[in-house]
Amino acid sequence: MGGARRRARARTAYALRNSWPYVGCLLLAVGAAWLATAHLAMRAAALLAVPCCLLGIWLNLRAAHAAARTGTLLAQARTALGAVRDSVIATDGDASVSYLNPAAERLLGQDAGAAQGFPVEAITRFVDPQSRRAMPHPVHVALGEGRAAALHPGAVLLRRDERELAVEASALPLPPGEGAGAVLVLRDVGFEREAAQRLSYQQAHDAVTGLLNRAEFGQRVARCLECAQQAGAAACDALLFLDLDQFRVVNESCGHAAGDALLRQVAGLLEGRLRGRDAVARLGGDEFGVLLCGCGAEDALRIAEMLRQALGELRFDHGGRSFPVAASLGVIELDASWREASGALSAAEAACGLAKEHGRNRVHLHRPGDAELAQREGMLHWVARIQDALDRDRLCLYAQPIAPAAPGADGPRHLELLLRMLDDDGQVVSPMAFLPAAERFSMSTAIDRWVVGSAFEQLGAAGDAGPALCAINLSAASLSDERFLQFVLDQCELRGVEPSRVCFEITETAVISQFQQALRFIEGLRALGFCFALDDFGTGMSSFAYLKQLPVDFLKIDGSFVKDMLHDPIDRAMVEAINHVGHVMGIRTVAEFVEHEATRNCLHEIGVDFVQGYGIGKPAPF
């Protein structure tokens, strides 16, 4: 009896001694995984470490289970394997199943007893989710090559009932000897893989429409350009930039939820009208991009026109109201001449901008040497310079005197403020170089704010020593901006400027384009004491008709009539007529472009009140 117990204790001790290498493997694998979990081999080691350690102990103890106490240790090892969250499958040297822990039974939907003796690939098949081709089984690799083997990332497990599971799988051969084989460890990563796919989708798609977003679309355009540059062939792809016309009407009258619904409706139409190989993206706001694969300029134009017509037939219904939908589109060919996706997108956007400027609801194709587009891009260059000048305070004011028409007559000092820009070298830039771009790209109001703020600051600081009347030019955009009126009042109070010393000049064309808004603006400020002058008068066909309705203090006769009036009787007659009508209405007149004393004398004879021009005084820093 005593001899049997001694032999059982010896076998148990031998089994435990032989199990320590598995514990060492555990410590080594876990430590390595902490150091470099990004490497596949390390991840496999970490995945296998705990189950293999426990299974190794159990297999060694099973070989020495003659004693009751050893059987107790064996049961404890089984219990430990049952508590492991990963699925553990043991095979013999022929890759036949010899053991499944409870986690493996649950994962595979397979009873451990029924699975024993089956080839491991009968209960665990791995396939590529895209091609559906079978993947090499990790157990066969482990047994055949005597090393740890891991399943290729992204592969999926097919159970016997054809259910598909996302798993990580690693196999490790056991040491040679009794019961030699391999251990396969499976970890269900369905939740993690689904979360990763969801995150990847969100990173590449627009949240409102489900279309590609700008970043992903830009990457696809870049790949097209790389292919074009490598091939060195003529363009075979095209890019469309689409901007909805009057989207703001829906957004502001019905709310952002309605605007989002319209965007989704447009996205559905675009996807439904294009080929499966084409890419559609929402680039931001009401802007969309379309990448047409294998499509030259003529085909791209045809598709763009088809999309424009389809959108024109669309109606957006909301709250009992129906809104028409229209779009402007820019088209460019994607060839090897484009070096960057951002440049191609900018060119397509500029072509779309030209389509909008030509009347909206039309298509514009960018071609090499496009003069209109080159002009627009030049203006965009000025937009950046204007913004830089505003940010760095590189705008400045000049002043030109306005004098009584009578030669030698004295009167209160009257000035018109003129805008200039300073370049990086401190040189003065003429307003004719940058103001057209400011007007075209809606920067006029920002410039007007700077001018008013700077002028009022200097007028307030000068006090009584300043000019008796200071004329400040305003753009049409400022006349229709209700916030600008309040800005003027705030600056006036802040700087302590007397309103009667300020005269705002507005052009006839600005008044005609924004007549009702201009009228409200003029009446509101004149009631507080500000003066107004109608600039460039006589250039419009309806000049006299509008003049009767405008409460202005000065009428500035356009210089195109003044400069040649000594030699052109028609010009002189126009000056006389404008001056006469102005005086009949109680409005003082100012003649521009007065360059000679003879012209001044002639204007005085006609009865014009004030003169301005290089013959009176050149602009100088204010």
Q: What is the pLDDT of residue 395?
A: 94
Q: What is the pLDDT of residue 160?
A: 82
Q: What is the pLDDT of residue 177?
A: 58
Banded model confidence at residue 176, pLDDT cuts 50, 70, 90 = low
Residue of higher predicted confidence among 473 and 163: 473
Average pLDDT over residues 446-462: 95
Q: What is the pLDDT of residue 31?
A: 33
Q: What is the pLDDT of residue 244?
A: 93
Structure tokens at 146: 């005597």
Residue positions counted in the chain: 622
Among 584, 528, 585, CA closest to 552: 585
Q: Answer yes or no: same fold for 212-368 and 385-621.
A: no
Domain parsing of the chain, residue ranges: 1-84, 91-204, 212-368, 385-621
Residue 555, pLDDT > 50, answer yes
Average pLDDT over residues 64-76: 48
- Listed range (281-290, 475-484, 588-597) with the worst mean pLDDT: 475-484
Q: What is the pLDDT of residue 337?
A: 77
Among 444, 439, 454, CA closest to 484: 444
Average pLDDT over residues 73-85: 62
Average pLDDT over residues 216-224: 90
Among 105, 121, 111, 106, CA closest to 158: 121
Q: What is the pLDDT of residue 76?
A: 58
Q: Is CATH 1.10.287.610 the right assignment for the domain spanning 385-621?
A: no
Residue 13, pLDDT > 90, answer no
- For β-strands 181-188 and 87-92, DSSP reports them as antiparallel
Question: Domain 91-204 - what CATH class?
Answer: alpha beta
Banded model confidence at residue 11, pLDDT cuts 50, 70, 90 = very low
Q: What is the pLDDT of residue 226?
A: 84
Candidate ranges 3-12, 298-307, 546-555; pick with highest mean pLDDT = 298-307
Beta bridge mates, 99: 90
Average pLDDT over residues 282-287: 92
Secondary structure class of 611 (helix, strand, coil):
strand
Residue 179, pLDDT > 70, answer no
Proportion of the chain above pLDDT 70, given as a percent: 83
Q: Is CATH 3.30.70.270 the right assignment for the domain spanning 212-368?
A: yes
All residues at 6 or more sequence positions from 280 whose CB lies less than 8 Å from its CB, including other chains: 211, 212, 267, 270, 271, 274, 288, 289, 290, 291
Average pLDDT over residues 590-595: 94
Banded model confidence at residue 50, pLDDT cuts 50, 70, 90 = very low
